[in-house]
């Protein structure tokens, strides 16, 4: 082709017994790093065991960038009825609005490879499995640093989370968010509804806040949080999702939400883990979350704490704005705009 270079031809790759066709493999997806679509595709194959541990049989929303991270972005929550491989599996989920969708439900690594071919950079799984989409088997604690705080503060808050989990006899599995935050996951028995598991997370977060009010907040309204780490309890509300373990993040550095050990956490930085370094890390040390499925936990102690808090006058907290008003939920009015608020 005169005056320019020819586009790279599509390639076909065998993944988990299926053929996945990778088009435009040389398209640059992360311009600052020079990483291409093929680099991204190869990355997801290299971390296959780990990302499947995070995604297997979970309804998953796809954050897609067909032209790379500096191009158009959209969330795909519905797998089209036509034009997809016949082996693609889906699960029907219901949104807070009452509407439903058939979301991608990865049964094997070929599903991840297909999604990467479609320009998926970030994978957002639900905390449920396709066999029971209304009862979470994963409890997520999202430690979100607010303005004036940073990753080091989130790590310190994670240490408080770990201590409380130890007292409860529960095992938490930490990972970087790929940004400034820290996530701690627990496998739980799939016996409770989203409402109940969210209630349990609120009770847990309040207990951490009581112990470290100088560091941690559960305040939903930003104007009330201050320079603290917010425990985002609404990440356990229906249809709220977090980038999964080993998912790339859509930033210039091509960072990865990366599982770490508790001993490692105080010494790492988010930029330590990216598209290039994480496959090398996995090849060397394996997956720090390899045992996450071994011992699901009974959240009954947290529900007892929630009952105690209710009796003491600390009831529910606001839901996200896209949720219908829930029984017992306080007003969704920013405190500074609440004319009925008693000073």
User: Is the confidence at residue 222, as pLDDT, over 90?
Assistant: yes
User: Is the confidence at residue 1, as pLDDT, over 50?
Assistant: no
Question: Nearest CA to 283 among 35, 15, 50?
Answer: 50
The mean of the pLDDT values for the chain is 95
| Alpha helix segments (H runs only) across 169-262 | 194-211
Q: pLDDT tens for residues 5-37? A: 467 899 999 999 999 999 999 999 999 999 999
| Predicted local confidence at residue 333, as pLDDT | 74
What proportion of the chain, given as a percentage, has pLDDT over 70?
A: 97
Contact 42, 35 (CB under 8 A): no
E strand map for 90-214: 90-94, 100-104, 120-125, 138-145, 173-176, 182-187
In whole angstroms, what is the distance from residue 203 CA to residue 48 CA? 35
Which residues have a Cβ under 8 Å from the Cβ of 107 and sit 6 or more positions away? 56, 57, 89
In whole angstroms, what is the distance from residue 321 CA to residue 220 CA? 11
What proportion of the chain, given as a percentage, has pLDDT over 90?
A: 90
Question: Nearest CA to 245 among 38, 55, 77, 105?
Answer: 55
Of all helices (H) and strands (E), which one includes residue 152? helix 151-168
Contact 285, 258 (CB under 8 A): no
Question: What is the β-pairing status of strands 100-104 and 90-94?
Answer: antiparallel
Q: What are phi and psi of 259, to 5 degrees?
A: -60, 135
Q: pLDDT tens for residues 266-306? A: 999 999 999 999 999 999 999 999 999 999 999 999 999 99
In whole angstroms, what is the distance from residue 243 CA to residue 224 CA? 26
Which residues have a Cβ under 8 Å from the Cβ of 343 and sit 6 or more positions away? none
């Amino acid at each position: 082709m005169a005056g320019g270079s020819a586009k790279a031809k599509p390639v076909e790759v065998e993944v988990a017994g299926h053929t996945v066709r990778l088009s435009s493999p040389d398209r640059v997806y992360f311009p600052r790093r020079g990483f291409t679509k093929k680099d991204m595709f190869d990355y997801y194959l290299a971390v296959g065991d780990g990302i499947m541990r995070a995604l297997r049989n979970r309804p998953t929303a796809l954050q897609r960038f067909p032209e790379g991270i500096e191009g158009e972005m959209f969330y795909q929550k519905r797998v089209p009825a036509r034009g997809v491989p016949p082996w693609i599996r889906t699960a029907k989920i219901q949104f807070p609005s009452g509407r439903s969708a058939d979301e991608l439900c990865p049964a094997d690594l070929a599903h991840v490879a297909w999604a990467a071919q479609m320009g998926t950079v970030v994978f957002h799984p639900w905390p449920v499995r396709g066999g029971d989409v209304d009862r979470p088997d994963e409890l997520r604690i999202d430690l979100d640093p607010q303005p004036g705080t940073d990753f080091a503060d989130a790590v310190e808050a994670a240490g408080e989370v770990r201590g409380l989990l130890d007292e409860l006899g529960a095992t938490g599995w930490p990972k970087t968010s790929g940004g400034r935050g820290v996530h701690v996951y627990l496998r739980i028995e799939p016996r409770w509804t989203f409402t109940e598991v969210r209630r349990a997370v609120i009770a847990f977060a309040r207990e951490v806040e009581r112990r470290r009010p100088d560091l941690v907040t559960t305040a939903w309204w930003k104007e009330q949080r201050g320079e603290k780490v917010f425990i985002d309890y609404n990440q356990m509300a229906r249809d709220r999702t977090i980038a999964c373990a080993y998912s790339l993040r859509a930033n210039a550095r091509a960072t990865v939400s990366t599982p770490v050990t508790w001993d490692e956490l105080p010494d790492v930085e988010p930029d330590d883990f990216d598209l290039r370094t994480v496959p090398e890390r996995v090849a060397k040390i394996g997956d720090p979350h390899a045992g996450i499925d071994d011992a699901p936990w009974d959240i009954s102690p947290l529900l007892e704490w929630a009952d105690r808090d209710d009796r003491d006058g600390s009831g529910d907290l606001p839901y996200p704005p896209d949720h219908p008003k829930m029984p017992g939920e306080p007003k969704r009015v920013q405190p500074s705009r609440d004319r009925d608020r008693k000073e």
